[in-house]
Chains A and B, each alone.
Chain A
Amino acid sequence: MKVKVLYFASLREQLGTAGEEIDLPAGVGTVAALRSHLRARGGAWELALAETKLVRAALNQDMVPPSAALKAGDEVAFFPPVTGG
């Protein structure tokens, strides 16, 4: 199952990429599971996506909780808490 993953602001800088397409292994079916999957890459991924870090997620351009389910073709975005206005 392929999904598009985007990273913004400090997260994009820490990870050194603005986004990628990922073919998810079986069992990675939620936003939280995707975050764990990415964290398992180690290095900057482990640090930036650590459980202690406040990371928000959007699924198809709507903010969602970590339990949100993924399907093929989804656009998932990870970013720090927003600071506009």
Chain B
Amino acid sequence: MNISVQREDFDAGAEMRALSRDPKVGAVASFVGVVREVGMTLEHYPGMTDKALRKIVEEAKGRWKVLDCTVIHRTGELKPTDQIVLVAVASAHRGDAFAACEFIMDFLKTQAPFWKKEAAGWVEARASDDAAAERWTTAAAPTPSRRRR
């Protein structure tokens, strides 16, 4: 498990290649979040961020067959088109990688202590993000047993 909270940009391709070095890996699914339209400053809670991200990844590993995972989240000043976040998950088959990647991203949005501030002020949390995280606790949540491999 590789967790990093950093000001610097990242190379998503290099991170994904690093995850596929293990010959047991048959699938790497990833998500990259990008700054849209207006610049922002990202604040975080340094003592808690790493711990919160690890907890989310551990939860995902308990639900799906995850071989390895990389989560990178940037902080500080970011401008439009800058990358903000990378979640990349390696597993033997795509079902686990897709589901775990989406789960980690949904929980990062609602549980990891980051806050965005734009020139117009602090970005408000969206109810749709809570709903996205909430759906993983319902009976309809995607699990390997319900997905085709």
Task: List 8 extra interface pairs beyond A9-B117, A85-B114, CB under 8 A.
Answer: A58-B113, A61-B47, A61-B48, A77-B113, A82-B111, A83-B125, A84-B108, A84-B109
**Minimum-distance CB pairs A-B, first 8:** A84-B114, A81-B125, A9-B115, A61-B48, A10-B122, A85-B109, A83-B123, A83-B116
Q: Complex formed: what's the CA distance from A1 to B29 in Å?
A: 48
A-B residue pair count with CB separations less than 8 angstroms: 77
Q: Is the CB of B110 within 8 A of A82?
A: yes
Residues on the A chain within 8 Å of B112, using CB: 82, 84-85
Q: Complex formed: what's the CA distance from A25 to B84 in Å?
A: 42
Residue B33 is within 8 A (CB to CB) of chain A in the complex: yes
Q: Is the CB of A85 within 8 A of B115?
A: no
A46-85 residues with Cβ-Cβ distance < 8 A to B are 54, 58, 61-63, 75, 77, 79-85
